[in-house]
Amino acid sequence: MAARPATPASPKNSKVKAPQPGQPQYGCEHVQRLFNQDQATTNTSIQHYKMILRSIFDTTPLIPQTAKPMDSAAVTILTPTYLCLQCPSTLTEEDRAKHGHKKAHRFYVDSRSGGVYCQMCDDIVWDPTFEELRLRKIGTGTFSTNRKRKNEDELFAADPSKESPQYISTNTSIASCKANGLRGIYNAGATCYQNVVLQSFLHNPVLRNFYLSDGHQSSNCEIPHCLSCAMDDMFQDFYALENTNGYTAANILSGFWISDKKAFENLVTTKEQDAHEFFQFLAEELHERNGDGKKPETGSEHSCNCIIHQTFYGKLQSTTTCQHCGGVTNQVQSFLDLSLPLENLTQKRGKKNSGAAKGPAHMTLTECLDEEYIKSDKCEYRCHNCNSMQQARRQTAIKRLPNVLSIQLKRFEFKQGRNERAAKIDTPVHFPLQLNMLPYTNRARGGDVKDNYELARSCTYDLLSVVVHVGEIDTGHYVSYCRVGDQWFQFNDHKVELAQKSDVLGAKAYLLFYIIRSLT
């Protein structure tokens, strides 16, 4: 545990954040004094704070969690420690006062949150300058304003254009305080499968930013019955009107009926349909309205820069290794979502548990992901080297992570032959609020990433919305949960209600949407 250097070499002078209207300039009078001593003090304070944040968020927790009281041996604790902003000491809460008394050091950083504690206030202070650095560290991982550094990395999708939260707030600031995007959508007759997908789009920050910043202006679009225009109108109505009544998605519906997507002919009926299929339909439709015009073929490495590609698309790489000659073939393809089969795991569980506890065993999302993107399977393939069919091992991993990861848990299994009946798998699948996708990337195959906390953090996703199918396969109903800030809401057609995290996590999810943390 090397001590932080006392005076980090910095060619530039650190600046205090410029005053903003409606915000105090400093977190408290004492921070004010700290920043008004001289430039050198300001420089060291800010440099130290950055270093402390790095040590908290980018290293093994062992470092910030180890306190070294002045007169005894180092001690590692689970509960928060306090890192002195003015010297390299790390202290327990008990020793903090002593240290302050002895050294006249007044500011300490909480090792769990990175928040600054002011000893004179005896309270955490949320100073705008420090807070900006802390939020950037938690978000993008860097202290600079953009993610440039990451853009060169093919592991990550490029930042969606106009992502800046400031941009969005300035663009919507004229709207009423009441217009917050929280409205139900009326069921137009077995259309709840559409409503849940529309809600998940409406509360997807990337799509919201796109439409609210006039990414596709319905007033400028010539295409008749354009679904992207219908989305634009819907976003405007949700985020700019004070209306709290349910929304009637008439234009979406007629766009849907008019669309001539052959692949989705099945979908277009007056009957209840599969929400996942509607998601695919809507994504493809919006890609065609906003994108390069090419069909988003699966199986190819289609790169398009439209809003749908920016939001949902990632890349998978499957590596096939010939068991005979050891030759390796890589194939890359784009994906809109990850479809995770539940059937195999359910059966395995069933066997394991047969005789013992009855009832459906539960699984976890990570188990399902392990099965698909860590484990390999056997297959036959035509090897170029051997010039013949050979046994091979195939392994699939994620090559590029999308900004919004959508996951389908294949709850509906279609048994070919046997009366062509579809069945629903009701096994609960536990899913987390935070999901680390690093283990499923091909980066994780490459080298030792175990201790790369920075990389792991940049592969962290937060749960954004959950689509749930309740009831029987043919007669069921869809509801969804979406998160707005820290609050969860349940959307049941026209009705919006508050939801607890436990409601969300207890739901038998069908579709899951996760957003990469650096965008939130």
Partner 1 sequence: MSSETGETGKAGIIVAPEGANSMDKLAHSVLDDLLYNIVHDLLIKVHRDEKMARAATAAIKVEKLASDASESSTPDAKPDVRIETDAAIYEEGKVLLKGNPLKTTKEILCPRCHLPRLLHPTDGKGAKKQDQSIIYCKKHPYIEKPGYDIYGQTWVAPGPGRGKKKKDMEKKLDPDASPAPGEGGAKDRPPNVLSFPSATCSKCKRCILVTRLNNHMGSCIGNSGRNASRAAAQKISNGGSNGGSQNNDNTPPGSQKGTPLPASRAASPRKRDGDEFDEDGDDSDPNNPKKKKPKPNVLTKKVILKSKSQSQGQGPSNKKEKVKANSMLSMEQRVDDEDSKNSTVQVAPKKSTPKGTSPIKKLKINPSSKPPQPTSGPKKGSKRERDQESESSGTLSSPPQ
Number of residues counted as binding partner 1 (CB under 8 A): 121
Stretch that binds partner 1, among 3-11, 157-165, 171-179, 199-207 (CB under 8 A): 171-179
Of 11, 21, 446, 447, which one interacts with partner 1 (CB under 8 A)? 21
Task: Please check whether residue 283 is in contact with residue 178, taking contact to mean a CB–CB distance below 8 angstroms.
Answer: no
Q: Where are the alpha helices (DSSP H) in 315-411?
A: 343-353, 365-373
Running DSSP on this structure, what letter comes out for residue 4?
Answer: P
Interface positions, 68-87, toward partner 1 (CB under 8 A) = 75-80
Contact partner, 61, from Zn ion, partner 1, none, Cβ < 5-8 Å per class: none
87 lines the binding site for Zn ion (CB under 5 A): yes
Q: How far is the CB of 422 from Zn ion (least distance, A)?
A: 30
Give the residue with the Cβ less far from partner 1, 147 or 509. Answer: 509
CA-to-CA distance for 182 and 245, rounded, in angstroms?
Answer: 10
Stretch that binds partner 1, among 158-166, 306-314, 368-376, 491-499 (CB under 8 A): 491-499
Give the residue with the Cβ less far from partner 1, 47 or 52. Answer: 52
Give the residue with the Cβ less far from partner 1, 47 or 199. Answer: 199
Burial 438-458 (b: 16+ CB within 10 A, else e): bbbbbbbeeeebeebbebbbb
Give the side-chain half-sphere CA count within 13 A for 1.
Answer: 18
Q: How far is the CB of 413 from Zn ion (least distance, A)?
A: 30
Task: Please check whether residue 361 is in contact with residue 367, taking contact to mean a CB–CB distance below 8 angstroms.
Answer: no
SS3 call for 16: coil
SS3 call for 383: strand
280 lines the binding site for partner 1 (CB under 8 A): yes
CA-to-CA distance for 38 and 51, rounded, in angstroms?
Answer: 20
Which amino acid is residue 20, in one-letter code? Q
Contact partner, 154, from partner 1, Zn ion, none, Cβ < 5-8 Å per class: none
Contact partner, 115, from partner 1, Zn ion, none, Cβ < 5-8 Å per class: partner 1
Of 34, 56, 67, 84, which one interacts with Zn ion (CB under 5 A)? 84
Task: Please check whether residue 455 is in contact with residue 175, taking contact to mean a CB–CB distance below 8 angstroms.
Answer: no
Q: How far is the CB of 24 from partner 1 (least distance, A)?
A: 5
Of 101, 103, 149, 178, which one interacts with partner 1 (CB under 8 A)? 178
Contact partner, 322, from Zn ion, partner 1, none, Cβ < 5-8 Å per class: Zn ion
Residues forming a β-bridge with 487: 484
Task: Please check whether residue 151 is in contact with residue 518, taking contact to mean a CB–CB distance below 8 angstroms.
Answer: no
Can you say whether the dihedral through the CA atoms of 173, 129, 164, 251 is positive or negative? Answer: negative
Task: Please check whether residue 341 is in contact with residue 407, taking contact to mean a CB–CB distance below 8 angstroms.
Answer: no
Contact partner, 408, from Zn ion, partner 1, none, Cβ < 5-8 Å per class: partner 1
Interface positions, 404-443, toward partner 1 (CB under 8 A) = 408, 410-415, 419-422
Task: Please check whether residue 26 is in contact with residue 35, taking contact to mean a CB–CB distance below 8 angstroms.
Answer: yes
CA-to-CA distance for 306 and 291, rounded, in angstroms?
Answer: 4
Beta carbons within 8 Å of 147's beta carbon, 6+ residues apart: 140, 159, 518
Stretch that binds partner 1, among 142-150, 155-163, 254-262, 344-352 (CB under 8 A): 254-262
Of 47, 86, 218, 442, which one interacts with partner 1 (CB under 8 A)? 218
Task: Please check whether residue 411 is in contact with residue 424, taking contact to mean a CB–CB distance below 8 angstroms.
Answer: yes
161 lines the binding site for partner 1 (CB under 8 A): no
Of 40, 434, 470, 506, which one interacts with partner 1 (CB under 8 A)? 470
228 lines the binding site for Zn ion (CB under 5 A): yes
SS3 call for 5: coil
502 lines the binding site for partner 1 (CB under 8 A): no
SS3 call for 202: helix
51 lines the binding site for partner 1 (CB under 8 A): no
Interface positions, 12-31, toward Zn ion (CB under 5 A) = 28, 30
Interface positions, 355-374, toward partner 1 (CB under 8 A) = none
263 lines the binding site for Zn ion (CB under 5 A): no
258 lines the binding site for partner 1 (CB under 8 A): yes
Q: For the purposes of burial, counting CB atoms within 10 Å of the CB of 410, is it exposed (0-12), middle (13-18) or buried (19 or more)?
A: middle
Q: Which residues bind Zn ion (CB under 5 A)?
A: 28, 30, 84, 86-87, 89, 103, 105, 118, 120-121, 177, 221, 223, 226, 228-229, 287, 291, 304, 306, 309, 322, 324-325, 327, 383, 385-386, 390
